[in-house]
Structures are given as C-alpha cells and as structure tokens.
Structure 1
Amino acid sequence: MKTAAKYIVITVLLVSFVSCQKTSSRNYQYMPNMYESVGYETYQESDAFGNGVEAQLPAEGSIPRGDFMPFEIENTNEGFAYAKANLSSPLDSTQVDYAKGGPLYAIYCGICHGSKGDGKGKLVQREKILGVPSYSDVGRAITTGSIYHVIYYGKNTMGSYANQLNEEERWQVVAYVEKLKADLEK
C-alpha cells in the first residue's frame, strides 16, 4: 500500500508539472511593463503632475507656435478707448498693400459693411442685420486703433476675426478701411 501511495503522489506531481507548462509562450518576460502596460482612465486623477492637477499651464509669457502674437490690450471698454487713442499701425506706407487688403475686406467685412464702407452690404440690403453705420458717419470717430481692436475682439453683433486673419492681414484690412473712410469723406 505504501508503494501504491508513493506512485500516486509521484504521478500527481508529474501531471501537475506537465499541465502547468505552457510551451506556446515564453516562460520568462524581460521588462514586463512593455508587454502589459497599465491602463489609465481618460479623466482620472493622476499624481503625474503633482498636487493633484490634471494638466499643466504653459509657462508665463510663452508664445504658442505659429504666427500668433498676443494682443496686449484687453477686451474691455477701457481697452477699446486705449486702443482708439494710442494704437497705431506698424506698417509704413511702403508695406500697405491695398491689393491684399481689398480682397480680405471683401471676404470678411464687405458682406455687412458694403464694398464701399457705406454700411450697405448684402446682409443689410436683405435685412438680415440692421444698423451697420457708414464709416463716414459724423458720430463715428474711428481710428486705426479702434478698427484693429474691433477686428481682433469684435463689437456688438460683429464677431472677432482674430482666428481668420493673422496680424499682418488684420493691419492690411485696417489700412483698407481707412482708405474707404477717406474715399467716403471726399
């Protein structure tokens, strides 16, 4: 009986060793984190950034890639008044290109303000929007700075065109609007 028990124990041990062996994959994994990465939920809290914040802000004063330059004047009534009084165009007379500013004005501004700046664009003629004044109205003392500020931030029902026009294109449109204003005042 003792020999039969020994054979049964040896047989059970051999079967357990053979059944646990998996020949279809490696027995040892080197750097197992490369094979079995830790799964993270999309918006879960993480200590990766420290202090429990979920993302980090860019360094103060950093400028994003591309041709974006921050506009230092605020989008407030005081900022508008400051721009109206103090902001001037960085373009000199040789850099102003009406052939470039004209088509940009026609695309973005002419639909409401009209091709001559008289406030009679297609949307006004069709009565889709109302109250677009002419650039030459007596009550409107528009300046270079006020035009740029309105293009950048928008005003009243006019939206911002900061995403559609880069800085140089905005100044070209400002120069074209000033030309239209001078033509209307003649």
Structure 2
Amino acid sequence: MKSIYKITLLVGITILVSSCKDDSKPNYQYMPNMYEPVSYNTYSQADVFKGGKEGQLPVEGSINRGFEVYDYPNTPEALNAVKAANLKSPLGVLSQKDKDKGKELFEIYCAICHGVAGDGQGKLVTQGKFLGVPNYKDRVINEGSIFHVETYGLNLMGSHANQLSKKERWLVAAHVMELKGK
C-alpha cells in the first residue's frame, strides 16, 4: 500500500512540474531589470536626459583627466609663431636614458617615413608609397616646431598626439634636433 502512495505521489509531482512549462508564455522573473538591463546606446536619445537630448555634454571649459593644455592652435600661423618664438623643451637637459628613449620612439613612429638618419629616405619612401618626405637638414626647424607638427600633423603626416604623450613628443623632438645637427 505504501508503494502505491509513493508511486502516486511521484507521478503527481512529475505532472505538476511538467505542467508549469509553457513555451508560448515566458516565465515570471523576479527583479527583471537584473536579467534584462535598460541599456543606452552611444549618442542615442533617451528619456533619462533632459529634453530627450542625445547624451550629456561635459561642462563648458572642462578638460579630460590627464590632458595637458598646449597653448598653440592647429593653424599655419601658430606653426610660424612657434618657430619665431624658438619654443624650447620643458624637459631641460636630457639624460642618456631619455635620449635613448627618444631615439627608440623615433625609430618606432617616424623612421618608417623619415628614415633612421632623418634624411627622408624611410622604407615607405624607398618603396615609392610616399614622396616628398623632407630631410631634416634642409628644413628650418626647432624643437618647438617639431613638437607642434607631432601634436597636430602637417601635410601628409598625421598627428601623433594619441600615440605619444607630451613628454615622449618632446623626447622625439630632441632626437630630431640631434639628427639635424649630424
């Protein structure tokens, strides 16, 4: 008799559990926002923002954390002003370690076009990919103008401000001046 009760109970539980599953209706979720979060796409309109704007803008006049302000704008006149002002590196006298770092960065980012010796005969120039890359000895440049061009780019050369920090750009500028002197 006890076995009939056990079998009946087992069959009843099985029917009860299998009857709760219905693929046509989703199950209830406890705290559904934890499973299906409300997400916002970049630059998309949302009710969260004031007036349904497309995202929040930073406060006017604020700058990014770690950003170092450079006083000259990206204009040809500013480049001429930097050359005329004979802008010098704020790093002062460089140690041998800093000179080696500047050489290393130059070989990574600049030598492909400008050549290891700064003669404008880098690998891309010798292969005919770019023409007219200048030789440093033929140019009227100073550390400030090199830094300015590294920061904003000039002609076909793009900006290296995203790849190199402010200190690294000054190190490369010092190495370029060393190449110009050779």
TM-score using structure 1 length: 0.69
User: Which residue of 2 is the match for residue 172 of structure 1?
Assistant: 171
Quick check: 1:68–1:166 contact (8 Å CA) kept in 2?
Answer: no
Query: Could you list the runs of 5+ residues in structure 2 that have no partner in the other structure?
Result: 1-19, 21-29
User: Which residue of 2 is the match for residue 31 of structure 1?
Assistant: none
Point out the structure with the larger helix share.
2
Query: Could you list the runs of 5+ residues in structure 1 that have no partner in the other structure?
Result: 1-23, 25-33
- Which amino acid in structure 2 is aligned with residue 58 of structure 1? P
50-59 or 117-126, larger mean C-alpha shift: 50-59
Quick check: 1:68–1:167 contact (8 Å CA) kept in 2?
Answer: no
- Which amino acid in structure 2 is aligned with residue 75 of structure 1? N
User: Which residue of 2 is the match for residue 155 of structure 1?
Assistant: 154
Question: Deviation of residue 94 (structure 1)?
Answer: 3.9
Question: Deviation of residue 84 (structure 1)?
Answer: 2.2
User: Which residue of 1 is the match for residue 23 of structure 2?
Assistant: none
Name the SS of the counterpart of 1:168 in structure 2: helix
**Aligned pairs (5 A) from 1:1-186:** 35=31, 42=41, 45-65=45-65, 67-86=66-85, 87-94=87-94, 97-137=98-138, 140-183=139-182
Question: Deviation of residue 51 (structure 1)?
Answer: 3.6
Distance 1:80 1:49, change over 3 A: same
Alpha-carbon distance between aligned partners in 1 of 2:121 and 2:40, rounded to the nearest angstrom: 54
Alpha-carbon distance between aligned partners in 1 of 2:38 and 2:82, rounded to the nearest angstrom: 51
Distance 1:154 1:35, change over 3 A: same
Distance 1:63 1:82, change over 3 A: same
Alpha-carbon distance between aligned partners in 2 of 1:39 and 1:94, rounded to the nearest angstrom: 53
Alpha-carbon distance between aligned partners in 1 of 2:52 and 2:110, rounded to the nearest angstrom: 46
Identity between Structure 1 and Structure 2 (%): 49
Question: Deviation of residue 82 (structure 1)?
Answer: 2.1
Distance 1:133 1:64, change over 3 A: same
Question: Deviation of residue 40 (structure 1)?
Answer: 6.9
167-176 or 51-60, larger mean C-alpha shift: 51-60
Distance 1:51 1:175, change over 3 A: same
